Amino acid sequence: MTELLQTLCALPGPSSCEDAVRNFVLKKAKPFADEIRTDAIGNVMVFRKGKKALDRPVAVCAHMDEVGVIVKKITEDGMLKFGFVGGVDPRVVIGKGVRFGDIRGVIGIKAVHLTTASERRTMPKTKDLYIDIGATSRAAAEEKVSLGDYGVFDSDVVLFGDGLIKAKAIDDRIGCATLLTLLEEQPPVDTWFCFTVQEETGLRGAASMAYALDPGFALVIEGTTAADLAEVTDGKAVCHVRGGAVIPFMDGATIYDASLFELLRDACIRRGIAWQTKTRISGGTDAGRIHKSRAGVRVCAVAAPVRYIHSPSSVAALSDCEAVLQAARAFLEELGGETE
């Protein structure tokens, strides 16, 4: 799955502009699909008939979009003022590359020797940043980009260290890679593999997807923040890279179904799959919309722990990514009565 993850992370796909990821998903899924649906906002829903039918099918979900930038203003000297698409910490982007299609740029800020003492003590604001695309004037910049253009971080995918991967968009291309891998296998139960849009800007694609399919169960596959740095102690680390798949019991948008949490946890224990849970209640996933759809959907989640999430250089362990795949497979096996 490593090569697949590398390919997916390299693709551009900011919220509402997931076209490159969607086209890749459709091409990879088509040979294995019994049915493929798309909707008006860009979700891709792939059905594969399982060994067993349920009264209401299972949905296994991952979002295609990533955080990015959007052009809001072009200055007289050709610099781009911008906003973030999704939640991004301004501290992590200064001096980093971005791209708008084939147009490359660098995110800049006022030089430190021009700042005041109070400015140096505060976190930079997005309004203080700009993107330099090398243009000499507004007119020159307008030949390359337009207001409303979406961009993504310009970041190489690198394997490094003891089994780590560095890339943009690990959140949630790890989920997409997992779904595409599972699609190649006949699932134990009838399953919809759902690739959603606009998760980073409010879990939007998940709402229309869940309404259309009305699943009985949903498993959301994600990347989640890991703060396991040297000086971060106890529960503040949230979860740990190389600690296994993360099975949350609650986050800022969802209280996960207790029975499904236990089912997924116990399935991992029986199969020897490394797992952990989150020690801090924060964030949210597509489950936040899915579980409220129609008359309600039972939901659970599994995620890869990711350092420096929503940045140009997110870091995850390949062993954790493999554990996520194994956990998702185990979930479907349990629903199909295939226990170990």
Write out the DSSP string of 280-339: S-----THHHHTTSTT--EEEEEEEEEBTTTSTTEEEEHHHHHHHHHHHHHHHHHHTT--
- The vertex-284 CA angle with 149 and 42, nearest 5°, equals 45
Report how far residue 164's alpha carbon sits from residue 317's, in angstroms, rounded to the nearest whole number: 4
> Known catalytic residue: 199?
yes
The strand pairing partners of 189, in sequence order, are 52
Report how far residue 226's alpha carbon sits from residue 275's, in angstroms, rounded to the nearest whole number: 14
Active-site residue, from 199, 200, 322, 334: 199
Can you read off the two tokens belonging to residue 193? 């593999």
Report how far residue 239's alpha carbon sits from residue 273's, in angstroms, rounded to the nearest whole number: 16
**Strand, helix or coil at 216?**
coil
Closest CA to 310 of 150, 85, 158: 85
Q: Determine the distance from the C-alpha atom of residue 50 to the mean position of all C-alpha atoms in its chain, rounded to a whole number.
A: 26
Segment holding 132, helix H or strand E: strand 129-132
Position 84, amino acid: F
Where do the H-state alpha helices sit in 169-237?
170-183, 204-213
Task: Compute and round to an integer the Cα radius of gyration of the chain.
Answer: 21
Residues labelled as active-site residues:
199
